[in-house]
Amino acid sequence: MQDLRSMTEAELKTAAQELGQPAYRGAQLFDWLQNKKIRSLDEALNLPKAFREALRQHYALSTLTLHTLQVSRDGTRKYLFELPDGQAIESVFMPYDYGCTVCVSSQVGCRMGCRFCASTLNGLSRNLLPGEMLEQVFRIEEETGKRVDHIVVMGMGEPLDNPDNLIRFIRLISDPKGKNLSQRNITVSTCGLVPQIRALAEEKLGITLALSLHAPDDELRRTMMPIANRYTIAETLAACDEYFEKTGRRMSYEYSLVRGSNDSEAHALALAKLLKGRNCHVNLIPVNPVTERGFEASQEAAVALFQKTLEKNGINATIRKKMGADIDGACGQLRRRLMEQHASICGKN
């Protein structure tokens, strides 16, 4: 059954008419779903009971239920949400100076297999619906009582492995009749699915694209990210250049620093050479150690030198502020602990 929260106002108007209602009932329903954030059709009080009943018979309604909340000393809040089918996903709330940000998951699990990432350890379970991405933001606004005005799609999953639902989510959350969040305040991070980057450029969205680069050469990148076996860095950067040309949005490159692996001055110089002449920004992320992975974060001095070397060579770089380190910071770690608990309760461990 189609999910009501994943539908546009125009689609809901048509759906209303198909159920024998005037079109404006669909517009009212859109307002209930996107602005009043109802969890059940019973809350849509100005809709006729018969219409609500008919909707229930023909459609589903995505809702998330809070399972666990961890609050960090720095104000970061990490949520484990349960989906209607019993699956679990993580979302993070970060109260930055410039506004509240939510880190949204786009899939349950991930099939990209990056070596340092916890979200991919059990593979992909399923894609999230647009309504399930919206719900992460809505439930967090409800729980914190704060207005979220920035979104980073950097939670569990590879957003460009679920492109149709991702694009629909972006259009819905930026709909002037819905939450009306500026597309300029949305960042989508990808490990580098080249055809999907090119297709995204055609959508002409106002969002920022971030590419997880993590290494200045193909050989090293292949040891960290399986996707590097499919696309070379040269092909990937060409797609990113096209994204910039078509959208006018400056690219962001993410570089997770792993101690003794990709964090030397020579790596920084190679990275600066690689990105030279591009209007871009580099985000340095000291790797968040995941128990199962055995990677160690770079030392502070190495991170500082890396940044300085990039800046000296004309590449804009910032070190990502470490937030929520005391609360299972790395994506997918909270969910993994839940899965382990389930397994031990069921006697599988």
Nearer to ligand SAH, 31 or 74 (CB): 74
Q: According to the binding rule CB under 6 A, does residue 33 interact with ligand SAH? A: no
Nearer to ligand SAH, 33 or 191 (CB): 191
Choosing from 8, 165, 196, 256, the residue that interacts with ligand SAH (CB under 6 A) is 256
Q: Which helix (H) or strand (E) holds 258?
A: none
Q: Which stretch binds ligand SAH (CB under 6 A): 17-25, 164-172, 178-186, 285-293?
A: 285-293
* Distance (Å, whole) CA 349 – CA 330: 23
- Report, as residue numbers or ranges, the catalytic residues: 90, 331
Q: According to the binding rule CB under 6 A, does residue 330 interact with ligand SAH? A: yes
* Distance (Å, whole) CA 15 – CA 200: 28
Amino acid at 53: E
Q: According to the binding rule CB under 6 A, does residue 72 interact with ligand SAH? A: no
Total binding residues toward ligand SAH, as defined by CB under 6 A: 17
Q: According to the binding rule CB under 6 A, does residue 254 interact with ligand SAH? A: yes
Interface with ligand SAH in residues 171-210 (CB under 6 A): 189-191
- The burial of 144, by beta-carbon neighbours within 10 Å (0-12 exposed, 13-18 middle, 19 or more buried), is given as middle
Nearest to 11 by CA among 33, 27, 34: 27
Nearer to ligand SAH, 15 or 290 (CB): 290
Choosing from 89, 220, 290, 323, the residue that interacts with ligand SAH (CB under 6 A) is 290
Using DSSP, how many helices (H) and how many strands (E) does the chain show?
11, 12
* Distance (Å, whole) CA 8 – CA 296: 45
- The burial of 218, by beta-carbon neighbours within 10 Å (0-12 exposed, 13-18 middle, 19 or more buried), is given as middle
Q: Minimal distance in Å, beta carbon 236 to ligand SAH?
A: 12
Nearer to ligand SAH, 9 or 328 (CB): 328
Residues 6+ positions from 99 with CB-CB distance below 8 Å: 149, 150, 185
Collapsing DSSP states into helix, strand and coil, what is residue 118? coil
* Distance (Å, whole) CA 248 – CA 250: 6
Q: Minimal distance in Å, beta carbon 190 to ligand SAH?
A: 5
Choosing from 105, 187, 288, 307, the residue that interacts with ligand SAH (CB under 6 A) is 288
Contacts with ligand SAH, residue ranges (CB under 6 A): 114, 116-117, 154, 158, 189-191, 212, 254, 256, 285, 287-288, 290, 330-331
